[in-house]
Structure 1
Amino acid sequence: MGIDDIVNQGKAFLDQNKDKIEETLKSDQAEDVSDNVLDAAADFVKKIAPDSVDEQIDGVRDNIDSKIGNE
């Protein structure tokens, strides 16, 4: 099985389960998990990046968060 076969299987899986995947991404559980992961990632980046980019980091974090979960 080649990479093309794996990619095609992945695409088929996504197509067949699109509604379930979308429902899961908009769930309370996805909101909680995404908040925790995004907060940890943003905090990590803020520790190593200059303070001058903190606002941009928060903006990216909020933008991603708006796409996952229900809030």
Structure 2
Amino acid sequence: MGLEDITKKAQEFLGDNKVQEALKSEKAEDLSDKLLDGVAGAVNKITGDKFDEQVEGARTAADKAVGTE
């Protein structure tokens, strides 16, 4: 299976209505917030907060894509 096949399968998976409903659930929101906070915190710690604004922007954009808020 090549990259093109994997990309097509991922698009099909993410396009499924049940998957979209799950991604927009309150549970997904809670889990994604914890994950995104952890990743953002780790990146800021490693970089000494040098890219804090960029990290927060990426975190906010990712948060909008998953969950209810």
Aligned residue for 2:20? Answer: 22
The 2-side partners of 1:21 and 1:51 are apart by: 34
- Residues 15-71 of structure 1 deviation map (CA, whole Å, 9 limit, x = unaligned): 8x7000000000000000000000000000000114231111011001000000000
**Aligned CA-pair RMSD:** 2.3
Query: Percent identity of the aligned residues?
Result: 41
Larger Rg: 1
The 1-side partners of 2:54 and 2:23 are apart by: 24
Deviation >4 Å, runs of 4+ = none
Ranges in structure 1 where 5+ consecutive residues have no aligned partner: none
Q: Which one-letter code corresponds to 1:14 in the other structure? A: F
SS at match of 1:51: coil
Ranges in structure 2 where 5+ consecutive residues have no aligned partner: none
TM-score by length of 1: 0.77
Alignment length, in residue pairs?
Answer: 65
TM-score by length of 2: 0.80
1:36 aligns with 2:34: yes
